[in-house]
Amino acid sequence: MASGMVLNAAAQTPAAPAATAAPAAAPAGPAKIAVIAWEAAVAQTNEGQRDFADLQKKYAPKEATLKTLNDEIETLTKQLQDQGATLSDVERANRSKAIDDKKKQLDRETEDLRNDGQQDMQDMFSGLQAKVYDVMQSYVEQQGFTLVLDIAQQQSPVLFASATTNITKQVIDAYNLKSGVPAPPAQPAAAAPEAPKSRGLTPASHAPASAPSTH
């Protein structure tokens, strides 16, 4: 069983809030388009990284318990395979049943843990993205953008975008400044947690390392 099971198994994150119409008094002129890796923008804020780390800590003990159970099942299964020929039919049947019961327990508790983790992940991301969206909206209005496209969507219509139009880093920086949440402490490369495979809280999944400023 891989570590981070719960967070890796989380469902897709909620969609970004619906786009709001531009003010009626917006000046006429050519469209000014920006792109953003939305989920990465939310996840890579200091607050997002902090909250994700808190979720990992919350579920680590239960995941460790399930890993211990899984290891026990593997040990018992190997013992049965190695000793099966020397066991009586009754003893072999008893051991097989004990293994099956533990497998059912593992499946049941894994599913419960996955559901709980998924719900916590959804709740955390939904609340955070609403706050990041407000900051993004203020930023694009200040910069005069008239349209923002999410390049992180799997079905994104964007085939090409200049780096100068990518506002992912700028939105992250603006939110960090507003939230006041400090950056998480740097971790040694060898001790860094494996990034979750689910869409949503995936550190450093889409945003450029240093997008040029649009100021």
Q: Is residue 204 part of a domain?
A: no
Q: Is residue 170 part of a domain?
A: yes
pLDDT at residue 154 in the model: 82
Overall number of domains in the chain: 1
pLDDT at residue 30 in the model: 80
Q: Is residue 17 part of a domain?
A: no
Q: Is residue 210 part of a domain?
A: no
Q: Is residue 121 part of a domain?
A: yes
β-bridge mates for residue 150, sequence order: 36
Q: Is residue 9 part of a domain?
A: no
Q: What is the pLDDT of residues 9-43, one digit of tens each?
A: 443 445 566 555 555 455 566 889 999 999 999 99
Percent of the chain with pLDDT over 90: 65
Residues 201, 195: Cα–Cα separation, whole Å: 8
Q: Is residue 168 part of a domain?
A: yes
Q: What does pTM read for this prediction?
A: 0.70
Domain range for 108 is 32-182
β-bridge mates for residue 147, sequence order: 33
In the predicted structure, residue 46 carries a pLDDT above the cut 70: yes
In the predicted structure, residue 166 carries a pLDDT above the cut 60: yes
100 contacts 93 by C-beta, under 8 angstroms: no
Q: Is residue 26 part of a domain?
A: no
